[in-house]
Structure 1
């Protein structure tokens, strides 16, 4: 039998995490406060510190949870693609869902910026990105990529980040036109 108090605590913790994920794109990492999170989650401000030692700890847990789910999904779906050329088309299609100024894009930009200032966050986000790159490198090797799959995976991940940064500045950026250079990058090492 589930403990009702424990279940309520888990539900409250999740509301706090969800509130933080929603607030970061709206007000920026540094603009999120205990009061804002508590208001958004519908709890008293003291509840935030009952579940998290600090707002930074809450933001790290919330944002890293978001990026872990996003990167895991992208890695799994990319790895299901039969070849690098088709994968590039699929990936650009996925990126077309993000404008660069949408909440998910803004959250990731804020997270990357915060990671430059918070060593623990940098380490943990680096581990997530490293797992994504390792999955992509394995997939490339399995598909007969003859170059350095780890370097190609790093280039692909960096290209995704760069494309999203550029989309924020240039909403008219033609993603389809980027397919050729990305395919060429991955195709040169493929057998």
Structure 2
């Protein structure tokens, strides 16, 4: 079996550290220890720990958003799509690694322009995919605005579930479907 390249080991080590320690708590030393390399190796592959964290985190979020968009594309109509989206949220109780990574990423993006732009590009791409899906399913309103509301609602549900574990995403399908004017 081939050895995992050092750069990949660093990226793979960074994501769980963001979840465990928070964006600001991750240091070069922590990543190097987790990856099993000397601290200087981190700066050989990345200009800063922020660059490493940005690449590692947005790699994960990009993959999650693409998977979500592909799943949505398989839904036949607006009501099915909304039900599918909220059912998918059941996988994210708000305290799981993916949810915590998202929270850390959004917070860090408020302070780091490069991260904000990368995340913005991902979010805009996801919203464009949702808007296209809405148009293909005959949505009569402003599909871009509706996609922005849906994306924000999905993020918000995950955030709310972190502080209210009893919040059942399935109960939200009705109100979200009504917002789209679909049954």
Give the Cα–Cα distance (whole angstroms) in 2 for the partners of residues 89 and 145 of structure 1.
Answer: 16
For structure 1, the 5+ residue unaligned runs are 1-6
- Aligned equivalent of 2:174, options 180, 183, 189: 180
> Residue 51 of structure 1 is aligned with which of 41, 45, 48?
45
- The answer to whether the aligner puts 1:23 opposite 2:20 as a matched pair is no
Structure 1 residue 85, shift from structure 2 partner = 0.7
TM-score where L is the length of structure 2: 0.96
Confirm whether residue 68 of structure 1 aligns to residue 62 of structure 2: yes
Matched, 1:39 2:38: no
Aligned residues: 182
Q: Which moved more, 1:85-94 or 1:104-113?
A: 85-94
* 1:120 CA displacement: 1.2
Confirm whether residue 113 of structure 1 aligns to residue 107 of structure 2: yes
Match of 1:166 among 135, 160, 166: 160
- Could you give the per-residue CA deviations for residues 106-158 of structure 1, whole angstroms, max 9, x where no partner exists? 00100000000011111111010000000110110011100000000000000
CA displacement at 1:93 relative to structure 2: 1.6
Which of 151, 157, 164 lines up with 2:151 in the alignment? 157
Structure 1 runs of 4+ with >4 Å offset = none
The TM-score normalised by the length of structure 1 is: 0.92
Query: CA-to-partner distance for each residue in 1:39-70, whole Å, 9 max, x for gaps?
Result: 11111111111100000000000001011100
RMSD in angstroms over aligned alpha carbons?
A: 1.4
